[in-house]
A = this chain, B = another copy of it.
Amino acid sequence: MSSTKFHPVSMQDVARAAGVSAQTVSRVANGSGQVKPETRSVVEAAMDKLGYRPNFAARALKRGRFKAIGVVMFDILATGNILTLEGITRAAKEQGYAVTLTMMEDGGESLAAAVDRMKTLPVDGIIVDLEKMVPDVRTYMPPSDLPLTVITSAKADYMNTIDEDQYGCSRMVVEYFLERGHTNVYFVSGPTNSVASEIRKAGWRDTLAAHGIVAPPPILGDWNADSGYAAGLELAKKDDCTAIYAGNDAMANGIMKALEDSGVRVPDDKSIIGVDNSLQSMVAKLALTSVSMDFSAVGHKAFEMTVDAIEGAKNTTPTHTLIPGAIVERSSVADLR
């Protein structure tokens, strides 16, 4: 029942108790070197009895590695980010790495500041999840002593980046509609300061163009259901609109409600596809076809890239990796063929 301030049991203590040298304790603790089985058990018994735990700091100091990576999130509450974090954490656990998390204030802190903060912490590599655009992504020069992976839709010149394939997601959606006989697709976007939304918009417009179709003006939303509702009221009046591509599921949900309130039937009169596949548990009898983005895979991959850089330490050229999404079919799209 002694209440010492913090971990009191060192290798020396164990060594003394077991009647061996500290080095032998070290060998037992790490399973390295040759130790007589008999000696090993004596040491292990002593460890158990004293409740020995290796001192992390001392180990890290000697080894120069922490077996930990830092994650910087700008908005931990945004849809998907938590899944990304989950992917990172799970991958980290598998490889025996710890994850250290910090949040950045929403108000335009720069990437440089984020990395600098992390650099003072016990980490061997850094993953930054950039929901929003920050000023210095493109030109940021990563530190030479600490591998960095950035999750962002923006392109960067000097770093490894990874992201959902936003552009490809739009292509999938548009072609899905066109294959089913729709002749045009309306798009309800997220806020224009969202890089992801802008890229999706480009993918949508380009794919339509590739099929010789002029994209109608996109309707501006803000990711929330209410903005979707407003967009839905507007779209309800357009008879030429049979296919709607909503920037996320929340807006799609709002659109569907507005259509219903306007007496427009889904999918009979208008079809709709959302993005995120996030409403399953929230909405009963969910009818919304949606693009499922694999955030968890992004996290997993981001971790792997970071660890590869830590352990390989090769000076490879910056890569930009894209993780594809997939359409989850429900019943909000009509086949007009």
Residues in A lying within 8 Å of B, measured CB to CB = 1-8, 53-58, 60-61, 64-66, 68, 76-77, 82-83, 85-86, 89-90, 93, 98-103, 119-122, 124, 144-146, 223-226, 228-229, 249-250, 253-254, 257-258, 279-286, 313, 315
Contact = CB atoms under 8 A, between A and B. Distances in A.
Given A89-B101, A98-B102, 4 more contacts: A68-B121, A98-B101, A100-B100, A226-B284
A257 to B, nearest CB: 5
A284 B254 contact: yes
Nearest to A224: B281
Q: Give the 7 A-B CB pairs with smallest separation, nearest first.
A: A254-B284, A229-B284, A57-B60, A57-B61, A225-B284, A56-B122, A224-B281
A58 B61 contact: yes
A322 to B, nearest CB: 24
15 contacts: A3-B144, A6-B65, A6-B146, A53-B119, A57-B58, A58-B61, A68-B121, A86-B103, A98-B101, A98-B122, A99-B102, A223-B281, A225-B282, A225-B284, A229-B285
A90 B82 CA distance: 16
B103 A101 contact: no
Q: Count the copies.
A: 2
B98 A121 contact: yes
Contacts of A86: 76-77, 103
Contact of A99 (B61, B101, B145): B101
